[in-house]
Amino acid sequence: MNNNNDAFTLAEVLITLAIIGIVAAITIPSLIQGYKKTEYSSKLKKFYSTMQQAIQMSQIDNGPLENWDFQKQIEDEDGNRDYYANYEYEKTWIKKYILPYIKYNKITDGEYIPPETETEEAVNNPVMVYFADGSTMTTFLGDCFDIVYDVNGEKSPNESGRDQYRYTFCFAASPGMQNTQGFRPYLSGRATSREDAYNRCIQAAAFCSTLLQYDGWEYKDDYPYKL
């Protein structure tokens, strides 16, 4: 009879598990990163296309873009930002010009609670539009409409250049913004080349949407922020 024992020893099993663990530790983060890049890229393409189509349809009902109503940031009698007046205007504006032409789940009222002491921070929740794919869009009224698109909504990290991407919506009435009229990545008219957009993205993450537009909304190997 053959009494040879063909089973694995405990040491062999432990070594095998250790190797599997090492390989998983090396490959899984890369796979997750690749999945995020694909997912985020798809959402960014869809959002940009959706907004462009909405603007085209809205102009049929509301006239040319340069004739749309636009009120720059609203201030109180002391010259400070009037949060609630801005929130009310932003919500009214977007419900008239954009939301009838896109699919969304809900829109929230803006909320601002001033700090009671100097050491506290104000509670500032801007107007937010929720989409079915889990992404969100917030608006900020300034010389133009600033729009921040968050590919994963309220999930972390909520950081510009990583899961949040900034756009501007400028009009003929927007001071000094005629060269960036319409909806486009944040001040994209200031970037003269892909290299320029890349350097601006490193200096200020708000410019990363411009870099991504240069790259066809794809994350190239040299994209400077980890998703």
The answer to whether position 69 is within a domain reads yes
Say which residue, 214 or 10, is predicted with more confidence: 214
DSSP, residue by residue, 175-200: TT-GGGBEEEETTGGG--SHHHHHHH
The answer to whether position 149 is within a domain reads yes
pLDDT at 124 over 90: no
0.85 exceeded by the pTM? no
Q: What are phi and psi of 145, to 5 degrees?
A: -80, 120
The answer to whether position 224 is within a domain reads no
Say which residue, 188 or 100, is predicted with more confidence: 100
The answer to whether position 220 is within a domain reads no
Distance CA 210, CA 191 (A): 8
Instruction: Give the pLDDT confidence of 67-82 residue by residue, as tens digits.
Output: 898 888 889 898 888 9
The answer to whether position 42 is within a domain reads yes
Number of domains within the chain: 1
The answer to whether position 222 is within a domain reads no
The single residue listed with the structure tokens 């870099």 is 211
* Domain range enclosing 90: 10-214
Q: What is the pLDDT of residue 204?
A: 94
The answer to whether position 181 is within a domain reads yes
Instruction: Give the pLDDT confidence of 16-72 residue by residue, as tens digits.
Output: 777 877 876 776 666 556 788 999 999 999 999 999 999 999 999 999 988 898 888
The answer to whether position 193 is within a domain reads yes
